[in-house]
Structure formats: structure tokens, C-alpha cells
Amino acid sequence: MPPGRPGPAGTGTEAEARWAIDFARTPGMNIYVLGYYHGWRLLRPWLDHPDRAARVRRLLTEPVLPADLEGQPSPM
């Protein structure tokens, strides 16, 4: 782990926790953190699929909208 970067949850020091809080409070970063969190909540169930590699490939090579991911058992 690079110096000054937080580790996995529950393994960090107080300094690492302070860095993470300061990062989230930096102007513009709070939107990034929220977007990352909600994006992962949307993607996780969609990626929990036997053909995960194909779904990751699709995310990286095609424009995918949130509506494309919700309520569809298989986008292929």
C-alpha cells in the first residue's frame, strides 16, 4: 500500500482514516465518492453472473446506461 493511501476497511490507521475523510471533503470529490458507491451498487448484482467476463467486456466497449442494467437477467 502506498504511503498516505487507505487500506481495506478495518485495516487502516487513524492517519489513513483522516486521509480518507479529507479526500471525501475535498471540493468535487464528494460527488465522485457518491457516484462510485452508487455505481457499484448498481453494477454488483449485474456482474454476479456466470458470464461475468463478457459483462465486464461490454462495460468497457459499449455505452451502457443504468436502465440497461436494471431488471434484466441477461443483457447479452
Confidence at residue 52, expressed as pLDDT on a 0 to 100 scale? 94
Q: Which residue has the higher pLDDT, 9 or 65?
A: 65
Query: pLDDT for 6-51, tens place per residue?
Result: 455 556 688 888 888 888 788 877 777 778 888 888 899 999 999 9
Residue 54: CB atoms within 10 A of its CB come to: 13
* Exposed/middle/buried for residue 70 (C-beta within 10 Å: 0-12, 13-18, 19+): exposed
Record the cell numbers describing residue 28, joined without a space: 468535487
Is the sign of the CA dihedral 26, 43, 57, 49 positive or negative?
Answer: positive
CA distance 62 to 15: 40
The answer to whether residues 25 and 31 touch, using CB atoms and an 8 Å cutoff, is no
Its pTM stands at 0.52
